[in-house]
Amino acid sequence: MKKVNLPSLLNQRDLFVDSFDQVFDEMVKAHFPEFTNTFGVNFISKGSYPKCDVIDYPENLKIRAEIAGLTKDDVDIEIKKDVLTISGKSTEEFNDEKATYIKKELKHSSFKRSFILSDKLDTDSIDASFKNGILTITIGKKQAEVEVSKRIVIK
């Protein structure tokens, strides 16, 4: 019996997921326009990987990214003009010419995911850790400036 490689919608998974994420981000912007001001982060939909949680705490904001199969040396975090970008590349890929994929879901390519940070976040106080395939980025919040009042004496 001869093996036949059939085309599949699964091969178009990233295209579908990226489009869905863009629709979701536009819906959030339309229905919750104050989201960025309230939570201090805006999503840039240039990719849906890695999957991320954005968690707001009173003293900081955490971004948790699920990056299975990579080490901390495979991942880069960069901030440029208030845009935080997580990027990396998987260098390990299964390749056996005798085998045919029945289902292929693991991502084995480079990735990049970006977030626009608001001016309420302190980009000088960022900490990152990587444990068990989870990248955690903690960004401190700026302290609210105390308004200083000064009385002017009229001459």
- CA atoms of 17 and 48, how far apart (whole Å): 7
Domain ranges of the chain: 9-141
Whether domain 9-141 has CATH 2.30.30.40: no
Q: What is the pLDDT of residues 27-63, one digit of tens each?
A: 666 666 665 555 555 555 455 678 899 999 999 999 9
Read off the pTM: 0.61
